[in-house]
Structure 1
Amino acid sequence: MSFDWNFNGRFKMFTAKAATAAMATLLLASQTPGFAGSASAATAERVTEAAAGEAEQQLGVIDNEVPEGAKISSKQASENILKLFPLLKKATISSARFDSPNSFPPPDYKAWDIGFELREGNRSTGFSASVHAVTGEVLSVHLPSELLEKQVSNSETKLTKTEARKQADEFLYKAIPNLKESGFDAVDDQYVNNAQQSLFGRTEYTYSYQMKHEGLVSEAETAYISVDQSGLVTGYSRTTIGAEYPTSKAAISAQQAQQKFEEQFDIQLAYISEDRYSSRKGQKYYLGYTPKNSSVTPLDANTLDRINSMTGEAIVQEDSQEDKPLKGSVAAFTPNTGSKLNAQQAEKLVKKSFTIPEGYQLDYSQLTKGSFASPNNQVWSLSWSNRNASVSYMFMRDISAQVDAATGQIYSVNIYQRMMPGMEQEKSETEVKGKTVTKAQAEKLAVNTIISLVPDASKQFRLSTVLELDDARTFIFQRYLNGIVVKDDTVQVQISNDGTINEFYSMVAASPEQLPTDIKPAISYEKARATYLEEFKLVLAYSRYGGFGMGNGEAVPAGVKLAYMPTRTDSPLTGMTYEVLDANTGEWKSMYGSMTGAVQVTTSDITGHAAESPLQNMVQHGVLLADEKGRVFPDRVITKGDWFTYLARAVNPNMDVYYSGDGDGNLYADITPESPYYQAVRTLIDQRWLAGADSETELNPEEEMTREELAVLLVRILRYEKLAGFYTLPSDLPNLVDASAVNNKGAVSLSIKLGLLPSIEGRFMPARKVTVAEAAQVLERLAKLQGKTDTFMSGNRLY
């Protein structure tokens, strides 16, 4: 059995590999999959802040009691946190939970989850940190922005990523007692998926480490450290495992393992998105060679069997279902051609193909924009509940679906039974007795389901993988166009033991016009395979398996095995699944597009320009995007929409990745959900840099921007509109020859005084159009104002 880890996040499966692939998202979310401790805030009664900033035992929240299974008390756990992060002495300890009850799946070790609270007036913020209850090692702490904002310093110190690494390395030794210099590997920066650093806001760098056991790198032992440009450690996450490690001595030699690896290694041609995490219309694809899933599975160092990363058991040949075509006994999907469906019609379509349990009624329906698989369509989001059920039963089952309002295509159905703290999982007699539906019967149902619900399924999809769970089987189907795999376009169907469908997910994004027209790559299969084998090697390491929540209240136990793992470096964390060989250029490309740290672009038209430095700065921060020839056209006149986009990217250069910009209504009369400026404008509204949405007002994003209009918008960003109202006379612009031509004298005066829009040879030239170069200069000056004014970027939330 093998499958694409990049897709199967639906299974709530997290490994060290998955943690690395999702690193940028995880840092923004302030928690790390693979770590058992929850980063969610714990709810508890408010306690009094400790005197002199010390976290004392208060109202019984923490004490010296050491519960069964632990070796430290909650008080010791909190003291260990404060030693590493003394800034947290300014917060109040609000709760202490043993064994991380809010975490699922539960870890294979005991942990303390210490809740903190920051209160300012009537506003409070809760967050938590985790500590290993046996070793006392701190496992997860992320300082909240509310606390970090108060640490703004007048210091001009700005460390580079290389300089800040020293602080991260020193912190690692403090965080992990008795750690030796040879006890870890620092992961190469190019393999760490850091989010693009924003021009505005605090700059943070992230460093990743893999721990070693008996001199070998372990997938189960990782650490992530965030350091800001002043050298302050702002976050720390540590994955660990309680399972026993096997011996580090392999029974089979590296030469034998290499021989088997090369014999079974295979690749395939695939369509790959240039930016896999963006759901924007017009996404482009290229042809690349990727390893087949089974080719990169770790090899057991004692048997050379491929390791099932779910169970740790050997994978047998019949587990692999790759390239199996679909043959069903039902009619193919036919789209709705009439008027747009209403909620009741959408519900009827769901009930036609799925069994909604008796007693459940539709209690929620909303027309929204689609998600990744349907970003440009209107979709009905539906959910059902059993109003007559007991409270405990209601909290144990969620039923939801998404249906395209125009075509009637069902994108997802989820009948999800979940475990709540303090409840026992109810199991049906079918689940207790075992499977009553054979694999062949379940497969037939899954195949018929996809044929009837997904357009052209028989032609475009093949059964790829079958996952055998305790109470169900999950069938994963891979999409092919022109006989070539479309990476990430998959459909998943889960069949329970009694033959009902628990889950259905259709993740189909690529349209034929987005794909390359030439399907004959410049590089042959033979050359590409040889390139892979030349680049990659096997490293003896500890491979992690299990530790996943399967969505049914069950958890697969975690463990480690000694294995030979394919990698391009000495670190298995940077394995073979995160880079792809371009089938036409022969270059190695990241599978994660713009998620891979700072933009590395060679610009072709700014060298020697008067504004070369700020232009390059904007490119490096992802504010300006060069075209395919490296051009940014510095002397082009910008529109208001261009400025909105630059400003939004200065706040969040990753907005295409993490924020789809989908919405249900117009922000302004000319900013509709289909507008290319929609998500930028919504970002600026969230920042309060534009007035709140008003569907009757026009922003005129296609109009060219003048210097005076830019001055007005700058005053809005700085929140000096009322102050600007005091400057209305020509005498307020005493040094300008053309003061009488300026209408918004206050805005222009303040823009000049702050150095944002200086005069030009004694003139302001209010009607002159703004160029890309001038916008870059203004943005760079604006960035330097951070921390020097009362309002700019003070208390703002970047994401």
Structure 2
Amino acid sequence: MRKRFRTLPAGALVLTTIGISGLVTAPTALANVGTPPKLSAGQAEQIAIKTFSIPSTYALQSESYNNNMSVTQPAAYSLNYQSTDPSKSGQSINVTIDANTGTVLNYNRPSGDNQFVFPAPVSAGQAEQIANRWAQKLYPLQVPSVKALPLTPTAGSLVGPTQYTYSYERVVRGIPAPFNGFSITIDQNGNLVAVSDNWTNLVFPSPTNVLSQSQANSIYQKALDLHLEYQSVYHTNGKPTTELVYQGAPQFYLNWWGQQFNGTSVIEFPVINAATGQVVDATGSTYRPAKYSLPKPLVPGGPTSLQDPKSVHWTEQQALDYAQKLFGITGSDTLASVSQYTNGSADTTWNFSWQTVNHINIQVSIDAKYGFVTSFNQYPMQPENPAANKEAKLTQAQADATVTAFVKKLYADDTGALAVVQNPGPVNKSSGFNSSYQIVSLVAGIPDQTHSGNVSIDPQTGQIQSLWMNNFEPSTSSFPVPSKALSQSQAVQRWMDARPLRLQYLETQPEVAAKLGSISTKGTNSGGQRPQVLLTFAPTAGPGSSGQFNAITGVFETSAKSPYTGVIHDIRGVVGAAQIQLLVDRELMMVDSQGDVHPNQTMTHSALLKLVVDALGLQGHYNQQLLATTAAKSALANVPQNSPDYQEIGSAYSMGWIPTKETFQPNAPTTRDYAAQILARALGFTPLLTHPKAFQLSATDAGSISSSHFAADALAATLGMIPLQNGAFHPNNDITLADTAVAVVQAAVIAGEEGQPYPPGPRPLG
């Protein structure tokens, strides 16, 4: 590693940068370690300066050379420039140049503009043209071999400037190679702010003599091996429900192929080598999934009280006595510590630790509400020599029996509802011994992953090392009836329809096996120590998918709101159409199944608060302690905690937007006056609202507005959030969705101009 440091002019900001030992880029060439670069550092600097027109007011702060310590990375120069202009203090430009080809691998120049502006000075269409010109300039040899992907709007609040990132995916012989390509980011003023290039010179196999689509589908169908499970599905309101899902057999290598450079989709199991028809993992090794076997209860016909726990509410002494008896703690052992934790549901956990006479540390946690062990750990006070006792002294059968007996002892009242199975990985490569197990809860014989745990055993000593079990708290939702589920064959077909195989090139990742040295796979490694490109059939999931296939509805659950990318049909000619489109792009407004937003509908109090909080990025003001008070519970009595708007309404209450002496009405229609009050408080203008005489409002109905509301209404009209209508403010008229969109976007503009002020809080209204 070579480093050079330049001296900046007097008064310049000086930073010290440690040389980079590994650049996070894909290879443009796989040079031998230690091979001298074809370009000098000075030549790399000239390429950077000429390509990006780096101003003379930016001085080279540091430079490092990565001499290709890894075969997956090219030799490259990393250049860091810092502004010497006092008015641009702290601004920097970072460029990474391939030391052999001169290709720009990375470029980053953070925009100095941190303010949200609407409309953006440069539209998405204009930004795309700018990005395409940069693509031609930077990667003229790559451009003919890429496909421009659709722009995915950046979801989230209206905090900060607008940026557009365009991704270009490599295509070889008409087949996508999603691990290769480049991306270009343009800011709202049309400036280039970021570039990332991932390109390989590895050989791409020919698509001749490969499986047909039907042959690949047949392999796919067999590899899925679906079975039923109960799982927790988390929704956009953060509240989980228990759903019956079809799940593939446990695969330790399930997500290893998630290597797309643009991150817009995820490669899922199974990945099929199109030439051999074998299921392969990301190292290129053949992977033969074991046939799924339904877990058997610890004691067939044993007690099944797990799903209906009875409250015992143990005291500290009762929990301590139970733990000491269960784990054989004697009077000679020393109780080292005791602590208590109580969650929001008044479920108390007692945590105990001992130091035994045999010099063992033991830690136990007891759920005192239901009377069961939630965690256990034991380890020697003096760690043993790690080089000693490498090989397992237990057989796998002995370990299985020890773990099973331990779990039976801890949960003797639930042995008919619990099973113990080996985790699918990792496995010790030398011994093949699996020391990690899963505790599976069973509901009418079906695994319930919402109530599960883990246990591990020391293969040398035969002692249980650790156990964790999640709470037996009764489920908040009922268990779906298995008789209503799709048949396995129906589920397989719908699964494959939703995740169809795509012929695509993928690059193997042999370093995965190196990092997880304890992993053992079945079959031969076709990748060796160097990556290679395989032609594969692989299912790909789009953004927002959780991978949980609902056995009742026959669709994949979503882990987040799916972005709407179609045409909004009912906003043509509507004042506020552009603002509505922006809010839809940011996933702050929803579009119905017909592609409509209903711009003339009246906003409710709940919908308004949710939109304002989310658009201004104020969710972090949620104060759980404040919301647990009697006053808060009274004020929000009409808002169920499982409401999708509860988080935002709770944040609004915490920031003092909602009075404490009256009950909030979430479904009440929102007036223009109410919206003005909320927006004024959201922007931090609360201290001004008690000074109505400081404001003027040239509205024909200004005299009818109460003094307590006058300042907020005047601010809303003067600042362009809620413009007058035919010369009047109309405080008591309902505000429409379209007018709300205009108001909220303008509020975001004002917040940007004010430097994103955070409103004072918590200060609930009296």
TM-score range, shorter chain: 0.5 to 0.7
SS in 1 for 2:503: strand
Q: State which structure, 1 or 2, has the greater radius of gyration over its C-alpha atoms.
A: 2
> Could you tell me which of 733, 752, 756 is aligned with 2:721?
756
Is the CA contact (8 Å cut-off) linking 2:243 and 2:479 kept in structure 1?
yes
Per-residue Cα deviation, 1:74-97 (whole angstroms, up to 9, x for no partner):
898888788888899999987777
CA distance in 2, matches of 1:169, 1:383: 62
The corresponding residue for 1:783 is 745
What runs of 5+ residues in structure 1 fail to find an aligned partner? 1-45, 370-375, 387-397, 417-424
Question: Who is 1:181 aligned against?
Answer: 144
Equivalent in 423, 434, 441 of residue 391 of structure 2: 434
Residues 218 and 544, structure 1, Cα contact 8 Å, conserved in 2: no
Mapping of residues 157-236 of structure 1, within 5 Å = 157-160=121-124, 164-171=127-134, 178-182=141-145, 184-186=146-148, 196-199=155-158, 201-211=160-170, 218=177, 220-221=179-180, 223=182, 226-236=185-195
Question: Cα deviation per residue 1:439-491 (whole Å; 9 max; x = unaligned)?
Answer: 33444455566674799686476747521344864445677656667688865
With over 3 angstroms needed to count, the CA separation of the structure-2 counterparts of 1:538 and 1:517, relative to structure 1, is same
Structure 1 residues 285-321: Cα deviation after superposition (integer angstroms, max 9, x where no partner): 4766879869942234565432244x5433345x555
Q: Which amino acid aligns with 2:665?
A: E
1:583-598 to structure 2, matched below 5 A, reads: 591-598=557-564
CA distance in 2, matches of 1:363, 1:116: 54
Report if the CA contact (8 A) 2:508-2:533 is conserved.
no
TM-score, normalised with respect to structure 1: 0.62
User: 1:680 maps to which residue?
Assistant: 648
Kindly tell me the number of residue pairs found equivalent between the two proteins.
688
Q: Which of 613, 623, 638 does residue 648 from structure 1 map onto?
A: 613
Matches for 1:49-60 after TM superposition, within 5 Å: none
Structure 1 residue identity aligned to 2:477 = E
Q: What's the secondary structure of 2:294's corresponding residue? A: strand
Q: What amino acid sits opposite 1:752 in the alignment?
A: A
> What displacement does 1:428 show?
1.1
Say whether residues 1:297 and 2:270 are aligned partners: yes
> How big is the shift at 1:794?
3.5
Q: Is the 8 A contact 1:252 1:303 kept in 2?
A: no
CA change 1:735–1:618 in 2 (3 A) is: same
Alignment of 1:6-405 (within 5 A): 71=37, 131=96, 147-150=111-114, 156-160=120-124, 164-171=127-134, 178-182=141-145, 184-186=146-148, 196-199=155-158, 201-211=160-170, 218=177, 220-221=179-180, 223=182, 226-236=185-195, 248-249=205-206, 253-255=210-212, 258=216, 261=219, 264-266=222-224, 268=226, 276=234, 278=236, 280-281=238-239, 283=241, 285=243, 296-300=269-273, 303-309=276-282, 312-316=284-288, 319=290, 322-327=293-298, 337-339=311-313
- The C-alpha deviation readout for 1:690-740, integer Å capped at 9, x for no partner, is 3599xx966853375554443233223333445556542797556325346
275-284 or 359-368: bigger deviation:
359-368
TM-score, structure 2 normalization: 0.64
1:604-661 per-residue CA deviation (whole Å, 9 max, x = no partner) reads 9x999998887776556443457899998988876655432221222359x7xxx897
Deviation sequence 1:223-264 (CA, Å, 0-9, x none) = 5555455544555556689xx957725896324963762572
Please tell me whether the aligned partners of residues 546 and 558 of structure 2 are also in contact (alpha carbons under 8 angstroms).
Answer: yes
Decide whether the 8 Å contact of 1:625 with 1:632 is kept in 2.
yes
Contact kept in structure 1, 2:399 and 2:457, CA below 8 Å = yes
Shift in CA distance, 403/563, structure 1 to aligned 2, threshold 3 Å = farther
Give the aligned residue type for 2:155. Answer: Q
Can you list the C-alpha shifts for 1:44-102, whole angstroms capped at 9, x where unaligned? Answer: xx99976899x9x9778679xx996884888988887888888999999877777799x
Give the 3 Å change call, closer, same or farther, for CA 503–756 of structure 1 in structure 2: same
How far residue 352 of structure 1 moved from its aligned partner, in angstroms, is 6.9
Is the CA contact (8 Å cut-off) linking 2:249 and 2:292 kept in structure 1?
no
Separation of aligned partners in 2, 1:111 and 1:258: 40
Q: Which whole-Å CA distance do the structure 1 matches of 2:11 and 2:71 have between them?
A: 36
**1:787 & 1:732 partners in 2: Cα distance?**
21
Distance 2:198 2:339 in 1: 38
Distance 1:668 1:100 in 2: 61
SS of residue paired to 1:261: helix
Instruction: Give the Cα–Cα distance (whole angstroms) in 1 for the partners of residues 421 and 728 of structure 2.
Output: 69
In structure 2, the CA distance between the partners of 1:529 and 1:366, relative to structure 1 (3 Å rule), is closer
1:239-638 matched pairs, under 5 angstroms: 248-249=205-206, 253-255=210-212, 258=216, 261=219, 264-266=222-224, 268=226, 276=234, 278=236, 280-281=238-239, 283=241, 285=243, 296-300=269-273, 303-309=276-282, 312-316=284-288, 319=290, 322-327=293-298, 337-339=311-313, 406-407=369-370, 428-430=386-388, 433-444=390-401, 452=410, 459=417, 463=421, 465-470=423-428, 473-475=435-437, 491-495=453-457, 497-498=459-460, 499=462, 500-501=464-465, 504=468, 511=475, 513=477, 516-517=480-481, 519-521=483-485, 524-530=487-493, 536-537=500-501, 539=503, 541-548=505-512, 560=531, 563=534, 565-567=536-538, 591-598=557-564, 621-625=586-590
Residues 695-734 of structure 1 mapped to structure 2, 5 A cutoff: 700-702=663-665, 704=668, 707-722=672-687, 727-728=692-693
Q: Which amino acid aligns with 1:337?
A: S
Could you tell me whether the CA contact under 8 Å between 1:268 and 1:290 is conserved in 2?
yes
Question: Residue 693 of structure 2 aligns to a residue in which SS?
Answer: coil
The whole-number CA distance in structure 2 between the counterparts of 1:477 and 1:524 is 27
Residue 783 of structure 1, CA deviation: 0.7
Percent of matched pairs sharing the same residue:
15
CA distance in structure 1 between the aligned counterparts of 2:575 and 2:185, rounded to whole angstroms:
36
- Residues 152, 779 of structure 1: alpha-carbon distance in 2 compared, 3 angstrom cutoff: closer
Q: Distance in 2 between matches of 1:779 and 1:229?
A: 20
The CA distance in 1 between the partners of 2:592 and 2:285, in whole Å, is 48
- Letter of the structure 1 residue corresponding to residue 503 of structure 2: V
- Any conservation in 1 of the 2:610–2:648 contact (CA below 8 Å)? yes
**Equivalent of 2:706 in 719, 734, 741:** 741
CA–CA separation in structure 2 for the residues paired with 1:239 and 1:477: 42
Which structure 2 segments of 5+ residues have no match? 24-32, 255-267, 356-360, 521-527, 760-766
Structure 2 letter corresponding to 1:735? T
Report which stretch shifted further, 474-483 or 779-788.
474-483
Q: Distance in 2 between matches of 1:98 and 1:360?
A: 55
Cα deviation for residue 367 of structure 1 reads 5.1
Residue 615 of structure 2 aligns with an amino acid whose one-letter code is A
Q: 2:221–2:492: 8 Å Cα contact kept in structure 1?
A: no
Query: What is the letter of the counterpart of residue 719 of structure 1?
Result: G
Greater relative CO, 1 or 2 (CA 8 Å, sep 6+): 1
What secondary structure sits across from 1:749 in the alignment?
A: helix
1:640–1:702 contact (8 Å) kept in structure 2 = yes
